[in-house]
Structure 1
Amino acid sequence: MAVEGKDRSKALEAGAQMLSGQLGKTVQRLRKAYNLSLSELAEQSGVAKSIISQIERNETNPTLATIWRLSQALDISIDRVLSSADDEPFIQKSSRADTPILVSDDGKMRLAIIGWIKTVEWLQWYDVQAEPGAVLDSDSHQRGSVECLSVLEGEFEVEVGGVVQQARTGESLRYRCDRPHTVRCIGDAPGRAVMVCILKAAVMD
């Protein structure tokens, strides 16, 4: 289950709250380098002038969707927009309250986004907690994408293209997620797992 469609939007919006205060300075520096006024950048990006102003003053936590539109208007990769001003070693800590949560349509499976927001375009990972009978349906992701579900507690099954495989505590399932796929928590006990999705994998065996 990579962050795609509706779930991707939720993840990006929640995860954007973890962006550093360097973002505002970076956007302002790039805007001035292109000799753009706030109004001109707003027109080119589709982001409201007031929002851009708040971003530059670090008065708001923009969504990644907003940052993406700004990066396109400024003709720079989103990774560079999000990068810090230096390469100093760092340690980041996220509290439980800061960790975005996705919930399956049936409300029985919760995925805490424990991956780094900067890698969301190519690598995503989650702490999965599920009630018995929980079902998570996901649309297909980019061709070549691979997902890995490592079961910590309980029992899960994954269905891809009509093929079903089960895994218990200590076991892992790896599968193509570039087609519709479903993860279920089976049995009578709650389940817990770590899910990792590698987008646009270079090699598929």
Structure 2
Amino acid sequence: MSHTNTPQIGPIIQRERKARRLSLEQLAALSGVSKSMLSQIERGAANPTFAVLWSLTRALKIDFSDLVGGRAAPADDSAIEVVTAFQTPEIKSADGACRMRILGPPQLVGVTEWYELEMEPGSELDSAPHAPGAFEHFTALSDGFEIVSGDQSCTINAGETARYRADVPHRITNRSTKVARGLMVLHYR
């Protein structure tokens, strides 16, 4: 019986992450895999599950077979890429009341990012300042959002867009009595 060497996945993940200019924190947000787990995987100190590897390959847009085969293939830029709902990374608040689906591609993290936001009634997404010069553009798909940026605030309803500084503390609150949805674009200068 012939034995093959176990693929060295950590260095491939690290190479692909760096090629896309992603920090560990950015890849963690895109993949749903914790920053500490990513660090352990890259160092070869952890043995990731299939689910973790699947999440990482989807976030990095590499084929799973290329990852376990010891190489990663460049994405075909001429093709139409379809990301299924199952493959779309999601971030949830600790209480589960706010859900953000990451709609933007990993290679644009830190440049332009976009998200679909869904919030339970009365919940809020409270954010620390992003990088200097960062702006958010939030379009309400339902009524009753309150936007706070620094010491400024406003209320927006379905179809309206608020554009505001995101390099100061900022917050989005669902003031309605229903689940509310919106689209957010974060642009770094």
TM-score by length of 1: 0.60
RMSD: 3.5
Output the CA distance in 2 between the equivalents of 1:7 and 1:90: 29
Are positions 1:124 and 2:109 aligned together?
no
The answer (yes or no) to whether the contact 1:132–1:188 under 8 Å persists in 2 is yes
Output the CA distance in 2 between the equivalents of 1:7 and 1:149: 23
Output the CA distance in 2 between the equivalents of 1:112 and 1:94: 12
User: The residue matched to 1:126 in structure 2 has which SS?
Assistant: strand
Give the alignment partner of residue 11 of structure 1, picking from 29, 42, 45. 29
Change (3 A) 1:180 1:62: same
Structure 1 letter corresponding to 2:42: V
Give the alignment partner of residue 84 of structure 1, picking from 57, 74, 81. 74
User: The residue matched to 1:96 in structure 2 has which SS?
Assistant: coil
Are positions 1:179 and 2:145 aligned together?
no
Give the alignment partner of residue 148 of structure 1, picking from 122, 137, 152. 137
Output the CA distance in 2 between the equivalents of 1:185 and 1:108: 10
Instruction: String of CA shifts for 1:78-137, please: whole Å, max 9, x gaps.
Output: xxxx9827x651111111111111112442111111111111121110111111101111
Partner of 2:155: 166
Are positions 1:195 and 2:189 aligned together?
no
Structure 1 residue 155, shift from structure 2 partner: 1.7
User: The residue matched to 1:153 in structure 2 has which SS?
Assistant: coil
> Greater helix share, 1 or 2?
1
Equivalent residue pairs, number: 145
Are positions 1:136 and 2:131 aligned together?
no
Output the CA distance in 2 between the equivalents of 1:187 and 1:9: 33
Output the CA distance in 2 between the equivalents of 1:155 and 1:9: 32
Gaps of 5+ in 1: 16-45, 55-59, 68-81
Give the alignment partner of residue 115 of structure 1, picking from 104, 116, 123. 104
Gaps of 5+ in 2: 1-22, 34-40, 61-71
The answer (yes or no) to whether the contact 2:139–2:159 under 8 Å persists in 1 is yes
The answer (yes or no) to whether the contact 1:154–1:190 under 8 Å persists in 2 is no
Partner of 2:36: none
The answer (yes or no) to whether the contact 1:131–1:190 under 8 Å persists in 2 is yes
The answer (yes or no) to whether the contact 2:98–2:120 under 8 Å persists in 1 is yes
Structure 1 letter corresponding to 2:156: A
Output the CA distance in 2 between the equivalents of 1:133 and 1:7: 28
Structure 2 letter corresponding to 1:162: D
Structure 1 letter corresponding to 2:152: V
Output the CA distance in 2 between the equivalents of 1:177 and 1:6: 22
Structure 1 residue 9, shift from structure 2 partner: 6.0
Output the CA distance in 1 between the equivalents of 2:151 and 2:73: 42
Change (3 A) 1:188 1:47: closer
Change (3 A) 1:184 1:7: farther
